[in-house]
Structure 1
Amino acid sequence: MKLPMSDGEHPSRETHRPTETVVGHVMELDELKSVYAHEGPFVTVYLEGRAPGEDAEKQVRLRWQNLRERLEGEHADAGALDALEAALESGQFGEAQTNGRVLVAAAGDGVVLDESWDAALGGGDTAYAGRLPELGAHVREAAQAVRVLLVVTGQEDAELRRLVVAAEHEPDEVAREEVRGGAVESPHHVREGALAHRRIQRRADEAVRQNAKEISAAVGAAVAEFPPDILVLAGEVQGRTAVREQLSGDFAGLLEETDRGGRGDSGAETALLDEVLRIAAQHSTEAEAGHAARLEQAGANRLAAKGDPEVMKAAENGAVDTLLLEQGTDTKREALLLKTGARTGASVAVVQPGTGLPDGVGAVLRFPPEG
C-alpha cells in the first residue's frame, strides 16, 4: 500500500516501495493519532490481567492506589490522575482484573485512551508520567497479535469464531456465529447396501456439498468483515473437506487445517485451542522473520534505516513506512518515534530478538534518505 505524503514532504519527491517479502501483520499508528492530538503532559497506566476473585474490586482499587501514590511522588498531573481514577471507578472491576487495561490521561483533557491490555502474567502493573504517553508496550502487543478466523465445521452446520491471539495468552474471542446449511436432504448416508438406496446416497452427498457451499459463503463474508491473518479450518472430516473444496482460491494463503477439536467436548475444545495457539505462534515467528528480511531487502535499495539517529531523522522527514522494533529490547526515544510515526502515517512491526539492530530499532522507508 502506498501511503500519502505528510505535509512536510516535497511533492516532487518520488515515493518507492521495496519489493515485497511475505511479512504478516503490522499496527497502523494512525489508530493513535487522537491520543497524540492532545498536548499533555500524560499519565500512562498498565494494569496487569489477573484471575478474578470475589474481592476483584478491592484488589484493583489497591493496585491503583499504589500506582497513584508513586505517580504523585513523581509530580504527575493531579487532574490526569483524578480522570484515571474516575475511569477505573466507572468500569467493571472484575473485567479490568481479568483482561488488564492500558489507560492514558492528558492534563486538562481526561482519559484519551482506554483499551484492553494482555500483559504476560507476572509482568506486574506499571505507570509513567511524562511529556509523551508511553505506548511502546501497547503498540508492540498490538503489532504481534494474530487475527484468527476459526471455522469448526460439520456436514450440516459450522461455528465461526473471530479470535485475536496475543503472545503467551489464551485466544481472545471477539465474536462467534452459527451457520446452518439449507440443504433439505439429510447429509448422512444410509448404511444399507440396497441398490434402491444409491439415489439417497447421492442426495446425501449433494446435501453435504450444498451445505458446504453456504458455509464457505459465510466464511467469505466473515473474512471481509474481520480480515484474518490465518483461517483455521477444523471439525468433522467430511464436512471439513467439503468446505475446503468450496473455499475460493483467494484464501489459499490464509488456510490452515487441523483434525484437532470438536464441538460439545471440553477435551477436544482444549486440544483445538492449543492447536490454534501453536499455529498463531508459528505465524507470528514467520512474520517477524519476514519483517527482518524485508528490512535487509530494503537496504539494498537505500530504503532502510537502522539505529536511533537514522530512524529518528527519517521519521522527522516523513520517510518511515514501517517502524521495526526488536522484541525484548528497550528502544531509545521510543515514545517520540511512535508520536512522529503516527503523525506521518507509519506502521509498526516487531522483529525477533538478536537481529542486531542498533538501539533495537530500524525502519523500512518510503524514499531514500537525503544526503
Structure 2
Amino acid sequence: MRLKDLADQIGHSGQFASIYFDSSHDTADAARQIELRWRAVVDQLEGAGLAQQTLTALDNAVTENPPSQGRAGRALVAAGSTVLIDEQLPEPPPGRIARVSPLPYLLPLIEHDAQQVPHVVAVIDRTGADLRAVGQHGMNQESVQGTEHHVHKVRGGGWSHWSIQNRVEEKSRQNVEEVAREVSRLVDDVDAQVLVLAGEVQARKALYDAIAPRAREIAVEASTGNRAEGGDAEAFEHEVRRILDEHVEKQRQASFDRFHAELNRDNGLAAQGLNETLSALNAANVEYLLVNPQVLADRTLCSGAQPTPLATAEQPLRAAGEETVHTVRADEALPIAALATGAKVVTSDEALPDGVGVLLRHT
C-alpha cells in the first residue's frame, strides 16, 4: 500500500504503529544485532500501549522476512492485525522511531520517496549498451547488443581500407540507432526524470543525438562507467547516485524558490505559518505542503474522523459538527491531510514560520 492509498483510508477508530529502525546486515554478528534492535522497538511499542495483535503482526513481518543486505533501514506501518507498509530503506534512519498514535507517521517515507527518482542508465559502446530502468515498480536491466561483425576498424590503406571503414561506421550507426530506440522507450515506460549516459565518448555522443527529444531533455553525461570488464563499477554507481541526488535537490530548491517568489508577490499563491496552512488544507487548496520537521517538532492539532478539517483547538471542529475530536501530532496530521487532498509534500531544513508553508492551487 502506498502513501496516498493509506491516507485515503484513514479513520480514527484505532491506533497506528509507525516504526523506522536500523536493519543493516553488514557485520559478522548482524543477525544478533538486528534482533537486539528489534527487541528495543518492541519494548518501546509495548510501553506505548500498542495492541497485542498489532505487535504480533509486526513481529511476524520482521522475523519471517529475509534480512537486508549491507547498510539498510526498515519502515513499517501497521494497524489492527495488518502490516500496511513494510519497506526496505537504502540507509538506516538517523535514529530509531517507534510511535503509537491515532495517525501513521509518514514523513520519513515521504522523504525516502523523494529520493527515488525514476531514471534510466545507458552505458554504451560501439557494439551495444547495458541499460537499467528504475521506475515506481522496481528496476529492469537489459543489454542491447548490435551485430558484432565489422565493429572494429582495421589498419591499412587504399580502397580496401576505405571500404571496411565505411562498413564499420554504418554498423556502428545501426547499433546506436537500435540502442536509442530502446533507451527512448524505457524513458517513456518509467516516466524517467533523469537519463544517465555513460560509456565510450563517441558512442555516447552519437546516442545523445539519436534519442528522442523527450529523452534528450533529461540526459546527463557521466564521466565514469564502461562496458569493459574490470571497470570501477562502484565509482560509477556513486556518480549515478550523485546525479540523482543533485536532481532531487534541484527539484526541492525549485519548490522553495517558487514559494518565496509567490510570498513576495501581491496576491501570490503562497502562505506560511500554521493557521494559514490549516486554512488552505481544509479548503483543499494546496499544491505543495512544505515542512521543516525540526521546527514543527511536537506541535499538536485537533482532528475529526477524516484527514480534514484540522484545527488548533477543539471548538471550531465541534462547531462544524464533528462529534469526536482527537488530539493528533501535527507532523502526522499535516502530511496525511496533504496526501488525502492530492497535494505533494516537500521536506526541508529551510526556515519556515511554525515549520510549515504552502503553495496554493488558486487564490
TM normalised by structure 2 equals 0.82
Partner AA of 2:283 in structure 1: N
Q: Over residues 119-141 of structure 1, what are the superposed CA-to-partner deviations in whole Å (9 max), with x where a residue is unaligned? A: 456x2332111111111111122
In 2, Cα distance between equivalents of 1:259 and 1:103: 38
Alignment of 1:234 onto 2:198: yes
Aligned to 1:342: 339
Question: Taking structure 1 as reference, are residues 97 and 32 closer, same or farther at Cα in structure 2, changes over 3 Å only?
Answer: farther
What is the CA distance between 1:318 and its match in structure 2? 0.8
Partner of 1:174: 139
In the TM superposition, what are the counterparts of 1:358-369 in structure 2 within 5 Å? 358-368=353-363
Q: 1:141-166: per-residue Cα shift (whole Å, max 9, x none)?
A: 212433331111111111112358xx
CA distances 1:164-199 after superposition (whole Å, capped 9, x unpaired): 8xxxxxxxx833211112x47422212212222212
Q: Contact 1:32/1:342 (CA < 8 Å) preserved in 2? A: no
Query: Residue 139 of structure 1 aligns with which residue?
Result: 110
Q: Is the 8 A contact 2:23 2:34 kept in 1?
A: no
- CA distance in 2 between counterparts of 1:267 and 1:188 reads 20
> Secondary structure of the equivalent of 1:252?
helix
Q: CA deviation at 1:254?
A: 0.7
Q: Which moved more, 1:234-243 or 1:58-67?
A: 58-67
Which range moved further: 328-337 or 279-288?
328-337
**Conservation of the 8 A alpha-carbon contact between 2:8 and 2:340:** no
One-letter amino acid of the structure 2 residue matched with residue 72 of structure 1: E
**Which residue number corresponds to residue 289 of structure 2?**
323
- Give 1:162's match in structure 2, choosing from 127, 130, 133: 133
In 2, the alpha carbon distance for the partners of 1:275 and 1:133 equals 35
Once the 2 structures are TM-superposed, how far is the Cα of residue 31 of structure 1 from its aligned partner?
4.7
- The amino acid that maps onto 1:346 is A
Describe the superposition over 1:101-124 as per-residue Cα deviations: whole angstroms up to 9, x where unpaired. 1111112x4211111223456x23
Which structure has the bigger radius of gyration? 2
Instruction: For 2:126 and 2:53, locate their aligned partners in 1 and report how far apart those are by CA, in whole Å.
Output: 59
In the alignment, the residues of structure 1 paired with residue 13 and residue 69 of structure 2 have an alpha-carbon distance, to the nearest angstrom, of 27
- Cα distance between partner residues in 2 of 1:317 and 1:70: 37
The aligned counterpart of 2:89 is 117
Give the drift of 1:208: 0.8
Q: CA deviation at 1:330?
A: 4.1
User: Residue 358 and residue 143 in structure 1: after superposition, are their counterparts in 2 closer, same or farther (change >3 A)?
Assistant: same
Stretches of structure 2 that go unaligned for 5 or more consecutive residues are 300-329
Post-superposition offset of 1:255: 0.7
> Within 5 A, what are the aligned runs for 1:1-371?
30-33=4-7, 36=10, 39-92=13-66, 94-95=67-68, 98-107=71-80, 109-120=81-92, 123-163=94-134, 174-181=139-146, 183=147, 185-266=149-230, 268-299=232-263, 300=265, 301-326=267-292, 329-330=295-296, 332=299, 333-351=330-348, 353-354=349-350, 356-368=351-363
SS at match of 1:348: strand
Q: Distance in 1 between matches of 2:78 and 2:3?
A: 18
Q: CA deviation at 1:45?
A: 0.9
SS of aligned partner of 2:76? strand
Distance of 2:59 and 2:132 partners within structure 1: 34
CA contact (8 A) 2:7 2:337 kept: no
Contact 2:22–2:74, Cα closer than 8 Å, also in 1 = yes
Could you tell me which residue of structure 1 aligns to residue 322 of structure 2? none
Normalised by the length of structure 1, the TM-score is: 0.80
Q: Is the 8 A contact 2:20 2:98 kept in 1?
A: yes
For 2:361, give the aligned amino acid. R
Q: What amino acid sits opposite 1:308 in the alignment?
A: L
Distance 1:287 1:128 in 2: 30
Q: 1:37 to 1:157 in 2, by over 3 A?
A: farther
Change (3 A) 1:241 1:196: same
Structure 1 stretch 226-235 or stretch 269-278: which is displaced more? 269-278
Answer with 123-132 or 214-223: which moved more.
123-132
Do the aligned partners of 1:100 and 1:119 also contact (CA within 8 Å) in 2? yes
Does the 8 A contact of 1:237 with 1:259 survive in 2? no
Measure, in 2, the Cα distance between the counterparts of 1:326 and 1:199.
65
Distance 1:36 1:197 in 2: 72
Alpha-carbon RMSD: 2.5
CA contact (8 A) 1:29 1:345 kept: no
In structure 1, what residue type is equivalent to 2:334? L
Residues 1:278 and 1:343: Cα distance change in structure 2 (over 3 Å): closer
Distance in 2 between the 1:84 and 1:327 partners? Answer: 26
